[in-house]
Structure 1
Amino acid sequence: MNDQLLNVINLGVIVVNQQQKIVVWNKWIEQHSRLTNEEALNKHLGSLFGGLLDLRLSFAVNEAIHLGMASVLSHTLHPNPLPLYDYTGGEPVLIKQSVEITPFSSEFGEHHCLLLVRDVTDVVKREEYLRQQARQSKIDVQRLSLVQEHLRKNELRFRELTRHAPVGLFELDENGCWGFLNEKCSQILGLEEHELLNIHWTNAVPESENANAHKEWNHAKNGSHRFWLQFMYCKPDRKIIWLQMEGRAIKDEKEKVTGYIGTIQDITEHRDHIQKIEFRANYDSLTLVFNRNYFETKLRSSVAGAREVNQKLGFLFVDLNKFKEINDEYGHSAGDKVLKSVAAKMRRAVREGDVVARLGGDEFAIILNDIESELAIPTIVAKIRHAVSLPVNIGNIYLKAECAIGVSIFPQHGDTFEQLMNHADMEMYKDKSGKRS
């Protein structure tokens, strides 16, 4: 019964599993893609259509499956996300589509994504016709009252269609002033439509992002390109959010730009999620300095940069002395406080452009960028020793940590992480045993 319903409804239904392989492919999609159910099932959506698939659709499917984010690909910004055709005439005609992407979980808890595809070719034609009528009404004074009523009805219809959109939809005039905002757009901005009408859209952008916003706008206006911008926005209630705004030009039959239409989305949660992922990937969660993986990558890029401009680079390997005794006598909580304190002291002891990382346990490493002379390194090392040796308050007592430091210099002691690390490691053990070179 479910299969029969899927094959009689007048829209496309595609379901992909969490591996983005197709598990449902209804009759409507078969007719417009000329790909049978047998050809499509268990195929990856991207590989099935190859380079003909809109990348934004792939991103939206990935966000639905992995982040649980629903979205709508409006025909205005993405008219042909799938290579689907109308074969009823003599020649196949590429149809314009609106695609709703919705995440859901199966009864076994697997993540799936539902794509509902609608043919909106006739809707696009009707909207273009209505716009032409609206422009003509400005010229035809005798029919002004009739056309105004017609526009009012179209406005109500358009608002009803956009009221349920999950993203903010807006329209700008040819000068970039707000002309229309749906309810979702007003909710995101925290302002009513009447408060924004006839005001230039860049007024919503903070001063720090204003130059970039005007650059994007001028690029789109002068070349009729799509504009795209992410920026921080302060709502009237002082809440700070991050917005993503994109739009494209609307042209008349003579290719003249008559306005712009686009979307606004609140990406605060998504941005925070990405930043948390990046933090976990690059930083040590205890000391908040960089971790080993990031440090190795940074050292390689720093070496490449120093080689390019023929500069020296310092590498310090720092190991705390008798840290195991601190853990054994005062507990791991005290040891963690010592590690956090030592990391903070080393950050303050080096220059802003230098890099401090925790390699693991009680081992740290430091990149000293742009070393003009090797004679400067002993001064920096002494500064680090002094900073590390300052007492650490762990409640009712003060603990004093000391460290051994090994130094290697690029290019004198090597040009790879391993070579610089091995030399610094040997120097550190000499320091620890009192045999400094």
Structure 2
Amino acid sequence: MTAGLPKEKQRMNIKCSLKRYIRYIYWSLAIISLFVPVIIKLTYNEPMRWTITLAFPILILAMYPAWKFGLFAISFASVFEYLVEFFLIPTNFDSDFPQLVVNSTLNWILFMLVALFILHYHEKSEQLRASEERYRKIVELSPKGIVIHREGTILYANPSAMKIVKEDNLVGKSIFTYLHPDFHEISKQRISQAKIGKEIPIIEEKLIRHDGKMIDAEIGGVSINYDGSPATLIIFSDVSERKKVEQALQESEKRYRRLVEWSPEPIIVYQHGFIQYANPACIKLLGASSLEELIGKSIIDYIHPDFVHLVENRNQEINQTGIFVAPTEEKIIRLDGTVIDVEVTGTTIKHDGKPTFLMMYHDLTGRKRTEEALRKSEEKYRLIAENMTDLVSVLDENGIIKYASPSHEFVLGFTPEVYEGNLAFDFVHSDDIPHIQSKFLYMVLSKENKVIEFRYKHINGNWVWVEAKGTPVFNEEGNLLHFLVVAREITERRLYEERLSHMAYHDTLTGLPNRRLFKERLEQSLKEAERYGRKMAVMYMDMDKFKHINDTFGHGVGDELLIQFAQRVQGCLRESDTLARQGGDEFIILLPEIQEEQDALQIAKRILAALQEPWLIGELVLQTTSSIGISFYPKDGTTRHELMNHADTALYEAKEDGKNNFKTYSLLRVR
């Protein structure tokens, strides 16, 4: 019946059966021990009596775990001994009874002392075994590599150590075989200077694996006494991936920093009301000579008193990241005391783990002055309007264009005559019309200016983003006369903002979603799967032999291979699926809606089949495949970390099984 069970399960069954049979024998012998006093007293051979008296209880007590019943048997036997002496064996009551009591009492005390000694011995032995087993498991199951060596010769290595260096057995080998030559001398020096019990500080060194690959590792240890002689215990871990991530983060930070530094729009970052950063355009706008003049200063110091309450409320109300701050017009005070009008917009980001404002200022001083001049003189207004690139128009209360500046032809291609007499909304993108109508209604009711961004039609058929400021003009009785609209093209700015947003959520090489976007989509899919009882799957995959191709033909070929790989895999997925690049040659796929697990397996097969075709890069014809690990919700996990980790585990097994295949985590658990 056990033939179909795994070997480990069969061994456990046999072990349990043996324990059960031994327990039966223990209890049988313990019960027989109740009658030992009778046998002792009926044995007139004195040496034999003492042999049975001492040996049998000790035998019973030594047979753990029946010692508890053995103690009871000894106690019962001591009492039963009096009855046997008195009733079954002829004695002179007056002369032999006191001696009988003394002998029995001494026997009982002797049995109890022996029992306590054996009990103490068993308890200490069990504690020692439990302690040894506990520490053995800690070392064997540690994710970090642990090696014990003496003068460089390895005496012990745990599984993680062998896994890190890709070696089946390390015992008897030299640690310097796996240590980069550049670190031999410093390692010898560290080992020679270590004293018993003294810690060897952790440092970063380079290791050489059995397959020849060089990895970064953090290595520390302690000098110990091992098998009666001094030895060194080394603990190390592979930090190669962490180093790559750190380098990628540094490069990414440099790219984004250049974008901000070179931006013509003033950008400022402040946290809890205190300035943390300002780009050169903002330093110039505020009239400072350097960034040091602004760092640590309160943003309120540069805000006009009329707008201090607005900024303070904004600082208090917004305490989350990713919140967009709608454009508003404010006044700021430069260091020289000059007051300028600015349009303020931005978002909240995370800086040092706390919500922080990233704001963009647009200097409105010139536009404000122009508007004021336009109000004073219609002739001057028209003259300026005809010679400016901003789009100036006058609309009546029904939205009919009464005047359009000549700049419309320069910016949009249509002559002013095309606009005049027609409804302004006829030239606006249909998706933006409801938004504009609500803003115009607000201007009428509040009698306030409003800044609106929308898409205006170009003569060549495309749409141009403009930023328009609408000003309602009223007569002395408070009746609306018309709207004055001054707009400027902001297509480049919008594209810039969209690029920034896209870069934050997409991989710059392949254009695929990055880790951040994948994380958000996976979290959302988990919520929907839990709410509607759906199944879903996560696939972890990488390219087999990518490193060899990248090292042999260069990063240019490697990058093009990654791009083609992403395109080919994307072509195997459904519209609802998400393919994201994790970094390097690692990709991850989210299948948010599957009916059965077989659906995911079919997609995996389709991907592997598509990757069998050779890659054409320039004049090169390359051949590479992929390995895939799959985890299912909810069978293999119910959280993002569980699904991704289990898919990664399955990927590792797929690569270990020869690559160019896929493995599911659920099947690994069955093994």
Question: Shorter-chain-normalised TM-score: which range?
Answer: 0.5 to 0.7
SS at match of 2:494: helix
Q: Which amino acid aligns with 2:576?
A: G
Query: % of aligned pairs identical?
Result: 24
User: Cα offset for 1:222?
Assistant: 8.5
Q: Structure 2 CA distance, aligned partners of 1:264 and 1:342?
A: 45
Matched, 1:409 2:632: yes
User: Cα offset for 1:269?
Assistant: 1.0
Whether the aligned pair in 1 keeps the contact of 2:541 and 2:627 (CA below 8 Å) is: yes
Residue 425 of structure 1: which of 633, 648, 655 is its match? Answer: 648
Residue 18 of structure 1: which of 277, 282, 295 is its match? Answer: 282
Alpha carbons of structure 1 residues 231 and 156: separation in structure 2 relative to 1, 3 Å: same
Deviation by residue 1:365-418 (Cα, 9 ceiling, x = unmatched)? 011112232231111111111122221112444322211111112333334332
Counting only pairs closer than 5 Å after superposition, residues 43-192 of structure 1 correspond to structure 2 as 43-44=298-299, 48-49=303-304, 52=307, 81-82=330-331, 99=341, 127=375, 154-163=377-386, 167-192=390-415
Whether the aligned pair in 2 keeps the contact of 1:318 and 1:406 (CA below 8 Å) is: yes
Residue 569 of structure 2 is matched in structure 1 by 346
Alpha carbons of structure 1 residues 368 and 265: separation in structure 2 relative to 1, 3 Å: same
Matched, 1:362 2:585: yes
Which sits farther off after the overlay, 393-402 or 157-166? 157-166
How many pairs were matched up?
332
Matched, 1:217 2:437: yes
User: Cα offset for 1:332?
Assistant: 3.3
Alpha carbons of structure 1 residues 50 and 343: separation in structure 2 relative to 1, 3 Å: farther
- Could you state the TM-score of these two structures normalised by the residue count of structure 2? 0.43
The structure with higher relative contact order (CA 8 Å, sep 6+) is 1
SS at match of 1:210: coil
Residue 376 of structure 1 is matched in structure 2 by 599
Whether the aligned pair in 2 keeps the contact of 1:248 and 1:261 (CA below 8 Å) is: yes
SS at match of 2:430: helix
Q: Structure 1 CA distance, aligned partners of 2:331 and 2:308?
A: 5
Deviation by residue 1:20-71 (Cα, 9 ceiling, x = unmatched)? 99558xxxxxxxxxxxxxxxxx652576447825989xxxxxxxxxxxxxxx
Whether the aligned pair in 2 keeps the contact of 1:21 and 1:43 (CA below 8 Å) is: no
Deviation by residue 1:91-134 (Cα, 9 ceiling, x = unmatched)? xxxxxx99489xxxxxxxxxx998859998xx69x95xx9xxxx
Matched, 1:202 2:457: no
Residue 388 of structure 1: which of 611, 619, 632 is its match? Answer: 611
User: Cα offset for 1:355?
Assistant: 0.8
User: Cα offset for 1:300?
Assistant: 2.3
Counting only pairs closer than 5 Å after superposition, residues 199-348 of structure 1 correspond to structure 2 as 199-205=422-428, 209-210=429-430, 212-214=432-434, 216-217=436-437, 220-221=440-441, 224=444, 226=450, 228-231=452-455, 233-235=457-459, 241-253=464-476, 255-348=478-571
Whether the aligned pair in 2 keeps the contact of 1:320 and 1:401 (CA below 8 Å) is: yes
Q: Structure 2 CA distance, aligned partners of 1:290 and 1:184?
A: 40
Deviation by residue 1:130-166 (Cα, 9 ceiling, x = unmatched)? 9xxxxxxxxxxxxxxxxxxxxxxx5323213545666
Q: Which amino acid aligns with 1:228?
A: I
Q: Which amino acid aligns with 1:187?
A: F
SS at match of 1:230: strand
Deviation by residue 1:200-248 (Cα, 9 ceiling, x = unmatched)? 111212xxx325415632673498365834215323x567532233425
Whether the aligned pair in 2 keeps the contact of 1:355 and 1:366 (CA below 8 Å) is: yes
- Could you state the TM-score of these two structures normalised by the residue count of structure 1? 0.63
User: Cα offset for 1:356?
Assistant: 0.7
Alpha carbons of structure 1 residues 307 and 260: separation in structure 2 relative to 1, 3 Å: farther
Q: Which amino acid aligns with 2:307?
A: L
User: Cα offset for 1:349?
Assistant: 0.4
User: Cα offset for 1:276?
Assistant: 2.3
Q: Structure 2 CA distance, aligned partners of 1:315 and 1:307?
A: 15
SS at match of 1:389: coil
Deviation by residue 1:292-330 (Cα, 9 ceiling, x = unmatched)? 232223322332333343322211101211222223444
User: Cα offset for 1:174?
Assistant: 1.3
**RMSD between superposed Cα atoms in Å:** 4.1
Q: Structure 1 CA distance, aligned partners of 2:517 and 2:368?
A: 48
Q: Structure 2 CA distance, aligned partners of 1:420 and 1:309?
A: 19
Whether the aligned pair in 2 keeps the contact of 1:406 and 1:425 (CA below 8 Å) is: yes
Q: Structure 2 CA distance, aligned partners of 1:193 and 1:414?
A: 64
Q: Which amino acid aligns with 2:282?
A: Q
Residue 142 of structure 1 is matched in structure 2 by none
Q: Which amino acid aligns with 1:210?
A: S
**Larger helix proportion of the pair:** 2
Residue 150 of structure 2 is matched in structure 1 by none
Q: Which amino acid aligns with 1:217?
A: Q
Alpha carbons of structure 1 residues 55 and 311: separation in structure 2 relative to 1, 3 Å: farther
